[in-house]
Amino acid sequence: MSATGSSLSHRVDAAIRRHLDGRCSPPRLGTALTSALFPGGARVRPRFALGIAMACGDDRPRVSDAAAAAVEFLHTASLVHDDLPCFDDAPLRRGAPAIHVAHGEALAVLTGDALIVLSFQALSDVADAAGERLPFLLATLAAAAGTPSGLVAGQALESEPLCDVAAYHAAKTGALFEAAAVMGATAAGADAAPWRPVGARLGAAYQVADDLHDALRLGGGGKPTGQDDAHDRPSAVKRHGIDGAVRVLKDHISGATDAIPCGPMADALRTLVREQTARFLPESLATRFGIDATA
């Protein structure tokens, strides 16, 4: 990880702990919350939000930190709920027992619920500093969380008899990446519109990489593979085949970096995006198909 990437990770973890402080109660729920958040995964989404905030001047770092924490709280909530027996019934997450396995199904449901609320509390914690930026931050987070095109909608599409793969991926994964980009820019007082496609393309790349990882049963991601087939879910591999999905992945990686607006930190942000891409792209997959995510 680069020096910038390392500092962003420390900044994200510090923000999560700050906004979690005093909210880990009752005790068993607090333990489950801490287990869900630490140790974290790659923190791709909140680091992305902070990278964009920095590219836009980061004039209110308390607000940027809160936005990053909110994004990670919401993402972690989606993982906890996704692993539940009524959805994937996954035994592992981030290399450890899933929350419903370690703490029971009831506490897992409540942990996910609490994390969703925490995402909004993190923003409310900095209302004084956010000022006129707060309403748009809240609206962006809510849109990414709910319907018709947020995380809840994406999860619900798995229950539909017919599902458009692009719409499913855009809601299930792309919505929060897009929100991370928009919230990073908004937290820094910049126009969010130019950053929206960067988040959308990065989110699309992440989902296609995840579909390939799952279909090829590559392992090493801290969670079970073969889930798309097991649950008959739509995926880029089912739609395009392995080679077609790889072509789509390459296109999204290029599209994400090409969409970054010009500016003094554009190159640094492109490096960050490529670094984050390398983290969620399995090395064996990159080598097998000749994808250079770090060039």
The string of pLDDT tens digits covering residues 230-246 is 777 788 888 889 888 88
Which of 63-77, 116-130, 159-173, 261-275 is the least confident region?
261-275
User: Other CB atoms closer than 10 Å to residue 254's CB: what's the count?
Assistant: 12
Position 15, amino acid: A
Residue 262 φ/ψ region, left for φ over 0, alpha for ψ in the -120 to 50 degree band, beta for the rest: beta
Fold classified for 3-289: Farnesyl Diphosphate Synthase (1.10.600)
Q: Which of 219, 165, 176 is nearest to 43 (CA)?
A: 176
Position 294 scores a pLDDT of 57
Virtual torsion, Cα 261, 266, 269, 270, nearest 10 deg: 80
Position 274 scores a pLDDT of 75
Position 271 scores a pLDDT of 82
Stretch 143-170: mean pLDDT, rounded? 93
**Domain spans, the chain:** 3-289
Helix (H, G, I), strand (E, B) or coil at 96: strand
Residue 97 phi/psi, 5-degree rounding, is: -55, 135
Q: Which pLDDT band, with edges at 50, 70 and 90, does 91 fall under?
A: very high
Position 122 scores a pLDDT of 98
Mean pLDDT estimate for the chain: 89
From first CA to last CA, the distance across the chain in angstroms is: 14
pTM confidence score: 0.91
Position 281 scores a pLDDT of 62
**Tokens (6 digits) for 212:** 């390939």
**Tokens (6 digits) for 18:** 């700050």
- Is residue 134 scored above 90 in pLDDT? yes
